[in-house]
Chain A
């Protein structure tokens, strides 16, 4: 569609939103090929969604579409796509001071910062990525401080965070990288050694806090500490710690740290992950791999387009991400990044899994999204060709059974 039409389309769009919110969404999708990601692709298949949930999936001759349902059709149908790590909603489109809420610089460790308090459900980048088929975002505080805050999981729809949210606190975001190192004189952490010392000391404190909470008598309980409360959830294994690390030495530090405290670690980025596949595999740690089209300099200078394929070949669970961008593009599109993995060593299905079923599993939301199966959320993406091809279009997007886009993008 032509951008010039955007001006006149706006009132119509608002109207659609209002109507859609009121209407009970009942919709079915026909696909020449349906990649359910829960079994082999279905040729000439149908997905039926009632009251926001999938009620039937199968070949067209075995599934009846109830009368009165809106029917969409496309060449290729996939589950709604999942971006396993983004900062969209916090790092606003304009990149001006007032719309950048992804990184608080006042202290190196602030796990108490909740993503839900910072997510702007109206940022235009949410619609931008949704138009390419992305229906779920794991988003939140960006890499750049030792512990920058919490992340959340949202659907790319909804007027408020409350309407969008799937998981309020998904992970605690940490960074072991040059980006978390202070360059100003006298500021800490100024070295990699200091980074680890600060991190370990904070977790030892959290451990003591947890112990006191458990053992102290009611009148001796420690005062509430939001930061330590969040870290106790990590110590308890309730929340994973998401550590952004690119260089092999930083990845090794992350593994060492997680082992010391018995944490559920998810590695983020891992540009040099291909150098440590045996260690990562042995630790049973999944990796949310950096966007392959990330700029290859600084800590990323040894990155390879084949990182995802090499990690996957080693038996490591992987998902793809759009990552965080400080300039242009303000966000990448995870569909395009996964496409590069399909072009560089992964098969089509393996690459698609990194933004559907595999991503859902790593994020712990595979009971709701990531595959087209009965009982799961009605999140579907429709394409007029191979979704990974540059020249294909996303021609429809459905979230919770609601058609949020039916124009080619």
Chain B
């Protein structure tokens, strides 16, 4: 808000601030740079320009453009912005209680961009999220991938694919969360049967469309839910699947094979029991890290060792906040506890960045400090896996979206009176009218 006002004032005074001011290259010099896709660089340089990374490497080996703003970050750590593959911030929406399978519902139709959760997430160093509906359904709707840019509406946060479509996956769940009174399933067998029947419908719908060969007379009526599932069948929409118990995990792998959908396993509390099977299926895992096992039957055998065991089996491992389950401000802790349980340091750092980017089909754009990728990065005052380290700044597309030295941002990083309130929307000109 403060920054928006400052920009407004600058525009009034200066007449016009063009994008070129923000396009001036910035060189961050002297930090320990952790690029993720290569070795850590003790004395490194990161150059960003026009919202992209234009240089990264050892000090002296990277050419700093003439006219670049030079920022001394010696003694600090620079690494990519964090990617959270599973978050529920921004208000809770998605499917309602009318049916267990609702692929027509889009989470982004229910998000409040002014929720304080977004500010806490930026304070935690998060830059990209997969925001999902909950796990009380077999299929609770379409998820959305967002970048935590300063935004007035959720649209400002969207990420678009090559065809200009809003990117997102689909949320599915098995196990006990979706067991409810009819029309919801009451058993695991019924859960799988309902889902299979739904995907068979989607296959038929897809085939009908193919047979129609663009003849409007032969085309089936539009069906929002089946349209989304066809995207899943065609591999254009990733399935993000809540699953805890070893047998539930195997059920997901079985269904993925039957219908050929691409899937990321989420939570995976008992993944350590079937790590080889997951590896053989070539399916990545986004793991939940919580302080103790239990709280529900299917998480009774959760272990800190899961990430390390999956990594050794050859599985791609990420962690997620599941915010509100864990707070985005301590996202680093999930990977660090994974390292405590045997995950490698490199694996732990990738699990918060590049691994997540791969699970969201965004590895060409984010997840590592690589020339050509988006300038999404964070500056820390210590080692990322240390409890004592603080995120000092968070940058997205070359713009600073969090600065711990700004009192308002600090409030959301640390907490305090007013930290939990929704951010007041910036309504253009309303403040000015009050002044008059």
- A residues contacting B by CB (< 8 A) are 1-4, 92-96, 124-125, 128-129, 272, 274-275, 293, 295-297, 300-307, 325, 327-333, 336, 339-340, 342-344, 388-393
Q: Which chain B residues numbered 262 to 277 have a C-beta less than 8 Å away from chain A?
A: 272-273
Segment at the interface with A among B279-287, B324-332, B354-362: B324-332
A333's closest neighbor in chain B, by CB? B291
B418 in contact with A389 (CB, 8 Å): no
B414 in contact with A344 (CB, 8 Å): yes
Of the candidates B273, B293, B325, B386, the one whose C-beta lies within 8 Å of that of A390 is: B386
Q: Which residues of chain A come closer than 8 Å to B97, judged between CB atoms?
A: none
Show 18 residue pairs from A and B whose CB-CB distance is below 8 angstroms, ordered by the A residue: A1-B305, A3-B303, A93-B295, A96-B297, A125-B294, A129-B292, A293-B330, A297-B324, A303-B415, A303-B420, A306-B416, A307-B415, A328-B296, A331-B292, A332-B292, A333-B292, A339-B387, A391-B386
Q: How far is the CB of B205 from chain A (nearest CB, A)?
A: 37
- B residues contacting A by CB (< 8 A) are 120, 272-273, 290-297, 299-301, 303, 305, 309, 324-327, 330, 332-333, 336-337, 339-340, 342, 385-388, 390, 414-421
B417 in contact with A302 (CB, 8 Å): yes
Q: In the complex the two chains form, what is the Cα distance from A94 to B330 in whole Å?
A: 25
Q: Which residues of chain A come closer than 8 Å to B420, judged between CB atoms?
A: 296-297, 300-303
Q: Tell me whether chain B's interface is mostly helix, strand or loop, or mixed.
A: loop
B416's closest neighbor in chain A, by CB? A304
B388 in contact with A305 (CB, 8 Å): no
Q: In the complex the two chains form, what is the Cα distance from A93 to B303 in whole Å?
A: 14
Of the candidates A2, A302, A391, the one whose C-beta lies within 8 Å of that of B305 is: A2
Q: Which residues of chain B come closer than 8 Å to A305, judged between CB atoms?
A: 414-415
B387 in contact with A388 (CB, 8 Å): yes
Q: In the complex the two chains form, what is the Cα distance from A129 to B295 in whole Å?
A: 15
Of the candidates A124, A329, A390, A393, the one whose C-beta lies within 8 Å of that of B333 is: A390
Q: Which residues of chain A come closer than 8 Å to B333, judged between CB atoms?
A: 390
Given A301-B421, A333-B291; A390-B416 close (CB under 8 Å): no
A328 in contact with B387 (CB, 8 Å): no
Of the candidates A1, A296, A328, the one whose C-beta lies within 8 Å of that of B325 is: A328
A332 in contact with B415 (CB, 8 Å): no
Q: Which residues of chain B come closer than 8 Å to A340, judged between CB atoms?
A: 330, 387
Q: In the complex the two chains form, what is the Cα distance from A130 to B259 in whole Å?
A: 45
A302 in contact with B419 (CB, 8 Å): yes
Q: Which residues of chain A come closer than 8 Å to B386, judged between CB atoms?
A: 389-391
B288's closest neighbor in chain A, by CB? A328
Q: Which residues of chain A come closer than 8 Å to B327, judged between CB atoms?
A: 293, 295-296
Q: How far is the CB of A55 from chain B (nearest CB, A)?
A: 33
Q: How far is the CB of B339 from chain A (nearest CB, A)?
A: 5
Q: In the complex the two chains form, what is the Cα distance from A336 to B295 in whole Å?
A: 18
Given A328-B299, A390-B340, A391-B340; A296-B415 close (CB under 8 Å): yes
Q: Which residues of chain B come closer than 8 Å to A391, judged between CB atoms?
A: 336, 339-340, 385-386
Q: How far is the CB of B245 from chain A (nearest CB, A)?
A: 13
Q: How far is the CB of A337 from chain B (nearest CB, A)?
A: 9
Q: In the complex the two chains form, what is the Cα distance from A331 to B290 in whole Å?
A: 9
Q: Which residues of chain A come closer than 8 Å to B300, judged between CB atoms?
A: 93-94
Q: In the complex the two chains form, what is the Cα distance from A295 to B325 in whole Å?
A: 8
Q: Count chain A CB atoms within 10 A of each CB in B303, B305, B342, B415 and give the residue with the most.
A: B415
Q: Count chain A CB atoms within 10 A of each CB in B326, B336, B414 and give the residue with the most.
A: B414
A129's closest neighbor in chain B, by CB? B292
A3's closest neighbor in chain B, by CB? B303
B296 in contact with A272 (CB, 8 Å): no
B324 in contact with A342 (CB, 8 Å): no
Given A302-B416, A339-B387; A331-B291 close (CB under 8 Å): yes
B419 in contact with A329 (CB, 8 Å): no
Q: In the complex the two chains form, what is the Cα distance from A391 to B339 in whole Å?
A: 6
Q: How far is the CB of A261 from chain B (nearest CB, A)?
A: 30
A325 in contact with B340 (CB, 8 Å): no
Q: Which residues of chain B come closer than 8 Å to A329, judged between CB atoms?
A: 290-292, 294-295
Q: In the complex the two chains form, what is the Cα distance from A328 to B293 in whole Å?
A: 8
Q: Which residues of chain B come closer than 8 Å to A344, judged between CB atoms?
A: 414
Q: Count chain B CB atoms within 10 A of each CB in A1, A96, A293, A296 and give the residue with the most.
A: A296
Given contacts A301-B419, A306-B415, A331-B291, 10 further A-B contacts (CB under 8 A): A93-B292, A94-B294, A94-B300, A293-B327, A336-B291, A389-B387, A390-B337, A391-B340, A391-B385, A391-B386
Q: In the complex the two chains form, what is the Cα distance from A306 to B415 in whole Å?
A: 8
B385's closest neighbor in chain A, by CB? A391
Q: How far is the CB of B291 from chain A (nearest CB, A)?
A: 4
A327's closest neighbor in chain B, by CB? B295
Q: Which residues of chain B come closer than 8 Å to A96, judged between CB atoms?
A: 297
A271's closest neighbor in chain B, by CB? B415
A390's closest neighbor in chain B, by CB? B336
B295 in contact with A325 (CB, 8 Å): yes
The 9 closest A-B pairs by CB, nearest first: A301-B420, A328-B295, A390-B336, A304-B415, A93-B294, A329-B291, A330-B295, A329-B290, A330-B294
Of the candidates B299, B301, B390, the one whose C-beta lies within 8 Å of that of A3 is: B301
Q: Which residues of chain A come closer than 8 Å to B294, judged between CB atoms?
A: 92-95, 124-125, 328-330
B297 in contact with A94 (CB, 8 Å): yes
